[in-house]
Chain A
């Protein structure tokens, strides 16, 4: 199939067929991560810059390992060590980096739309590694990949996403991705953390956690994004945990073979109990492992799709 995207900015840009193609490609890359020599020469001679203006360990490391396993040269730049702290604009920073001729820039930024802004102005490929509360496409794809790995399919599954919906970019990308792949997405969380009109994105809003969890095939718990909240939206963490925390008792409402996911980092005892976080139904470390394969696929596809997109 032809993959004609030079940038990966969000799930919105992909059709269901393209999403499936990305997941198929990721499966091929997963095999490399189980070999003794975890390296192939696919992106030899390409330069990837990980430009992270927001703190991140998991995503940045995952992209870095993905690039290295494809034999690309990877360089990490964090916001605190960049000239942004000296007053430089994003565009000037980007133009200076572009002058060094990278092939791909992987960017995380606290402003929604920052990746798209950069993509319009750059000659190289841009991959969005999370922009504000907007999109986090690689996370949604690795979640879909993990669901498919454990369930064998995505179509027809009930997926419950619980937590701080307003401030989560993971939710927006996931709703779009899972919808296109045929899942039924339910969301739940405190009213103060549910943006008005969220159902227009194609999900169902559960009145409470019980409704969301009942007969769910997949339960995805989210962290409270304290750093993105202007003011505290819940009376106390204890109360949040009581009404919206996943524990071994309320997990029984879901199907017996339901899987538990979390994009990380987890707050044990708040949105998820340790019993569940370490229990047999959790696939959280599979998500991390699959993240490398999915990001290898994205780096490979934008490198190959580069010329096709120009034509």
Chain B
């Protein structure tokens, strides 16, 4: 039998994202050369939220892109789903400070794939990682720069970030 526990409600998610937006601006001393790129699919919605919050704080709309990592995954042949999304980055990455956004950080393999994909598209000045939930169990030496909530989990547990139909995050749940 599965047991679902609410970790963050809608307001908590918004507070966490506002804090991350402030941290990003503080760390980068403003929005110069800053771009936000979300990893499909949860990361895209969170990246859009961060872009909006940065605009509210700083009054500047930073470029927003989406990246699909399917072609960079290392488990082709053992996957059940071969569906592929599209990468949509309509600005040059050269010399940009990229804020890479995902909803949940787990083994780190998705982030590795996303970094490979980004570097194939250009040569950013740096890549910073913003994630909503860090659940641990890293298999690669990857550490996020901006974290919404640290949440140590068991491997058997799952984390689900729910979004509304308008792609606004409405809650984070732990499923045992």
A-side residues, CB < 8 A to B, are: 1-3, 21, 24-25, 27-29, 31-32, 35-37, 39-43, 70, 300-301, 303-308
Find the residue from A2, A28, A300 having the highest chain B CB count within 10 A.
A28
Contact pattern, B 87-127, Cβ under 8 Å of A = 1, otherwise 0: 10000000000000000000000000000110011100000
Given that A3-B82, A25-B82, A304-B77 are contacting pairs, would A35 and B120 also be in contact in the complex, using a CB cutoff of 8 Å? yes
Which of B71, B77, B86, B116 is the most central at the interface, judged by chain A CB atoms within 10 Å of its CB?
A: B71
Q: Which of B40-85 contact A (CB under 8 A)?
A: 68, 70-72, 76-85
B-side residues, CB < 8 A to A, are 68, 70-72, 76-87, 116-117, 120-122
Q: List 25 A-B contacts (CB under 8 A).
A: A1-B81, A1-B83, A2-B80, A2-B82, A3-B82, A25-B83, A28-B70, A28-B71, A28-B86, A31-B87, A39-B120, A40-B72, A41-B71, A41-B72, A41-B116, A42-B71, A42-B76, A70-B71, A300-B76, A300-B84, A301-B82, A303-B77, A304-B77, A304-B82, A308-B80
Q: Chain B contacts of A25 at CB under 8 A?
A: 82-84
Residues in A with CB closer than 8 Å to B85 are 28
Given contacts A28-B70, A41-B72, contact A304 B116 (CB under 8 A): no
Q: List the A residue with the shortest CB-CB distance to B113.
A: A41
Chain A, Cβ-Cβ closest to B79: A304
CA distance in complex: A255, B140 (Å): 57
* Cα separation A236 to B80 with both chains bound (whole Å): 55
Roughly how many angstroms separate A25 CA and B83 CA in the complex, as a whole number? 7
Q: Which residues of A contact B84 (CB under 8 A)?
A: 24-25, 28-29, 300
Q: Looking across the interface, which residue of chain B has its beta carbon closest to that of A25? A: B84
A3 to B83 Cα, complex, angstroms:
9
Residues of A contacting B: mostly: helix
A41 to chain B: which residues have CB within 8 Å?
Answer: 71-72, 116
Residues from chain A with Cβ under 8 Å of B78 in the complex: 307
- Cβ–Cβ < 8 Å partners of B76 in chain A: 42-43, 300, 303-304
- What separation, in Å, do the CA atoms of A306 and B79 have in the docked complex? 10
Q: Is A35 a contact of B72 with CB atoms below 8 Å? A: no
Q: List, in ascending order, chain A residues with CB within 8 A of B79's CB.
A: 304
Given A2-B81, A41-B72, A301-B82, 20 more A-B residue pairs with CB atoms under 8 Å apart are A1-B82, A1-B83, A2-B82, A3-B82, A21-B83, A24-B84, A28-B70, A31-B86, A31-B87, A35-B120, A36-B121, A37-B120, A37-B121, A39-B120, A40-B71, A40-B117, A41-B116, A42-B72, A300-B84, A304-B79
Q: Give the chain B neighbours of A300 by CB distance below 8 A.
A: 71, 76, 82, 84
Given A37-B120, A37-B121, CB of A305 within 8 Å of CB of B72: no
Most buried by A among B72, B83, B84: B84
- The residue from A27, A301, A303, A308 contacting B86, defined by CB atoms under 8 A apart: A27
